[in-house]
C-alpha cells in the first residue's frame, strides 16, 4: 500500500526517561496503516506503555526524558503539536478507568472534552447520546461514574475519548482490572470501532487468544525493541521465540506445537485460533481415514 495509507509513521525512535540510563525504547521504526487493528505484546517493562505515550504526544511534551527520532500521527509531528491538539486525532484508554474519570455524572464525563473544544450545547447533547449508544450505556446519563461496574467504567472512558472523534484509539491493557464479563464488553467495543467505524485500534494486551482472533497485526516488544512484527499467524507460530522472552502463544497454537514436536502428530501450519485448530484437525483426521484401506 502507498505511504498515504500510513496513519502513524515512527522513525528511529529512542526514548530514555529522566534520571535513567537505559532507554525504554530503542531504535523503533514502525508504520501503522489507517484502519488496522494492531496488538502490542510484551512482558512488563518491554516498552508497550512508553510507545503508546509517544503516540499521543504525552512523550515528549509532558514526561521528562530524552527523545530521538520522530513520531508522526496523521500528518502531525508529536514534537510540534500539543497533547490537546493530538487528542482530536488519537484517544488513549489506560488500564484503570478510574484514573480517567473525574466528573459527577456519566453525561458530564463525556461532555468534558467537548466543552474544552467549545462545542455548542445542542451538538454536545447529540454527541453524548450517540456515544452512550455506541458503548451501550444509554439511560445512565445521570449516574455517577463511580457507581458503574469496572466494564462500564472502561466503556465510559472509551465513550469520552470517542466524543472527540479521533481517527485512532489506543488502549493500554484495558481489561487488566476487569472480570471476564467486563473484558468481553471492552473487546467487543474495540472490535466494533475497528470493523464498523474503520478506526485504527492499537491495543496492548495479555489476552493472546483474543488478539489472535481480532488483530490484523501483532507487534512483540522486548527490552524496548521490536522483536516480532507480522500477522497473528506469522508471530504466534514462532512458539520457541515467544517462550524465550516469557510470552505464551495462544493455547491452540501451543497444543498443535506440542503435537507436532513431541508426537509428530501435526502436519499442518500451526493454528492461532480454536476454529483454525478444529478445522485443521478435521482435515487431518479425514486424510487419515482416506488413507486407511477398507476391509470387506
What's the pLDDT tens digit per position in 77-88?
Answer: 999 999 988 988
- CB-CB neighbours of 109 under 10 Å: 24
DSSP per residue, 135-150: TT-TT-TTS-GGGS-H
Report the C-alpha gap between 132 and 30 in whole angstroms.
34
How are strands ordered across the β-sheet holding 217-222?
90-93, 168-172, 200-204, 37-41, 217-222, 225-230
> CATH assignment of 3-233?
3.40.50.300
Domain boundaries, the chain: 3-233, 250-290
Res 79: pLDDT:
93
* The pLDDT of residue 3 is above 80: no
Give percent of the chain above pLDDT 70.
Answer: 95
- CA dihedral in degrees (106, 107, 109, 111; nearest 10)? 170
Query: How do residues 206-224 score in pLDDT, each as one tens digit?
Result: 889 999 999 999 999 999 9
Please give the Cα distance from 230 to 270 (Å, whole number): 15
Q: Cell numbers 478444529 correspond to what residue?
A: 278
pLDDT at 282 over 80: no
pLDDT tens-digit profile of 99-114? 778 899 999 999 988 8
Strand order in the sheet with 65-73: 25-33, 6-17, 65-73, 76-77
* Grid cell digits, residue 72: 508522526
Question: Which residues, in sequence order, are CB contacts of 184 under 8 Å at separation 6+?
Answer: none
Average pLDDT, the chain: 89
Amino acid at each position: 500500500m502507498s505511504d498515504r495509507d500510513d496513519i502513524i509513521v515512527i522513525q528511529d525512535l529512542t526514548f530514555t526517561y529522566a534520571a535513567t540510563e537505559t532507554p525504554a525504547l530503542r531504535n523503533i521504526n514502525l508504520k501503522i496503516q489507517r484502519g488496522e487493528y494492531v496488538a502490542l505484546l510484551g512482558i512488563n517493562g518491554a516498552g508497550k506503555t512508553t510507545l503508546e505515550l509517544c503516540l499521543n504526544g504525552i512523550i515528549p511534551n509532558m514526561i521528562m526524558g530524552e527523545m530521538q527520532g520522530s513520531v508522526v500521527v496523521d500528518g502531525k509531528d508529536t514534537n510540534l503539536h500539543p497533547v490537546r491538539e493530538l487528542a482530536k486525532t488519537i484517544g488513549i484508554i489506560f488500564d484503570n478507568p478510574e484514573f480517567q474519570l473525574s466528573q459527577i455524572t456519566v453525561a458530564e464525563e463525556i461532555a468534558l472534552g467537548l466543552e474544552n473544544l467549545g462545542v455548542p450545547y445542542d451538538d454536545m447533547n447529540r454527541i453524548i447520546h450517540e456515544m452512550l449508544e455506541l458503548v451501550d450505556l444509554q439511560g445512565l446519563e445521570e449516574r455517577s461514574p463511580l457507581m458503574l461496574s469496572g466494564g462500564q467504567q472502561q466503556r465510559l472512558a472509551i465513550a469520552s475519548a470517542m466524543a472527540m472523534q479521533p481517527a485512532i484509539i489506543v488502549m493500554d491493557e484495558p481489561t487488566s482490572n476487569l472480570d471476564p464479563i467486563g473484558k468481553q464488553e471492552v473487546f467487543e467495543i474495540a472490535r466494533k470501532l475497528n470493523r464498523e467505524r474503520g478506526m485504527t485500534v492499537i491495543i496492548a494486551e495479555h489476552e493472546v487468544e483474543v488478539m489472535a482472533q481480532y488483530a490484523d497485526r501483532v507487534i512483540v516488544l522486548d527490552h524496548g525493541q521490536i522483536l516480532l512484527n507480522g500477522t497473528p499467524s506469522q508471530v504466534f507460530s514462532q512458539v520457541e521465540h515467544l517462550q524465550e522472552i516469557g510470552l505464551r502463544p495462544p493455547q491452540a497454537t501451543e497444543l498443535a506445537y506440542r503435537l507436532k514436536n513431541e508426537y509428530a502428530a501435526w502436519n499442518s501450519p500451526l493454528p492461532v485460533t480454536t476454529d483454525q485448530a478444529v478445522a485443521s484437525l478435521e482435515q487431518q483426521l479425514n486424510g487419515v481415514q482416506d488413507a486407511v484401506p477398507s476391509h470387506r
